[in-house]
Structure 1
Amino acid sequence: MTASPEIGNPRTATPDLLRSVFRQHAAGVAVITAAGERPAGFTATSLNSVAADPPLISFGVGTSSSSWPVIARTEHIGVHILGEHQRDLAATFARSGADRFGPSTEWRSGPEGVPLLDGVLAWLVCRVVARVPAGDHRIMIAQAITGDPVGGGRPLVYHQGGFTALRD
């Protein structure tokens, strides 16, 4: 058996510890959108493929976020996989109080009235099938009903508290 690197000093689990640990975990960046009285959306790094048959995805959303009231009631959501060229778009949808669907965001109404962002690597429109309570968040489970892997290119990644690109 080979020696492993030192583990260090364990700390009691807290919100700060969890954030610190997950800063070490690189995650793809997506924007989730929904139609409401006004369109809503937010940047998500918690997007996961859950099942292929039926095609299910999941993501987390904070119940204190400005998007939650729309997400809590909507039947359909849009999922957008961002490319490395979309750091500004990711930052806009991550920033509290930002005009996310303002003049700097190119989008259109898609299937089921879901706001679809232009220029993304891929998108899905999904039907929400469950909202699972998880602390101060809800885990959303949704079934893909349509989509398109429209764009080529490299994905945007979230790591160490910032948006970055993959390196060769």
Structure 2
Amino acid sequence: MYQLTPHPDHPSDAVEAITVGIAADGEHVGLTYRVTGDLGRLLLPGLGRLRREDRLWTSTCFEIFLRYGPVGYREYNFAPDGRWSAYRFASYRRARSNLSQKCHIEALYDDDAYVLSAHILGQGVAGHDIGLSTIIKERDGRTSFWALAHPDGDADFHHDACFALKGDDL
């Protein structure tokens, strides 16, 4: 399990911890995000119909970034309500295009935690640098940004500093 930390400029009093488990083989990535804290204060809508949709980062969203070369990378987003997205970037925030991978999401409350599991079909992690992140929206309007590592300055999950895990080390 990997522990995410809040961005220092965007902490949360409601979230105690976010951990991420990751399992991968050559053609599949499985992620398990576990959120603990005062869950009633968080915007965690019930799981609905699985569907592809853009701009998930404007709501509670669980993410993985996979850099597969010196500049290009992929971004996968998973929302508690069943929305997901998958993008390829040619370089830092440039030339975004949709990926054809299919994603599956499951979500549940487990004792004192909210657990979202996401599966990406047709995607491995070997040879990739990995960034794990989460955006949490709270009922009072606050937003916190969680990642394995953060760059100096603004929260930016696309930044090189966020790719803190090596796929070959899993």
TM-score, normalized by the shorter chain, greater than 0.5: no
Higher strand share: 2
TM-score range, shorter chain: 0.3 to 0.5
Q: TM-score, normalised by structure 1?
A: 0.33
Q: TM-score, normalised by structure 2?
A: 0.32
Higher helix share: 1
Whichever of the two has the greater Rg, that structure is 1
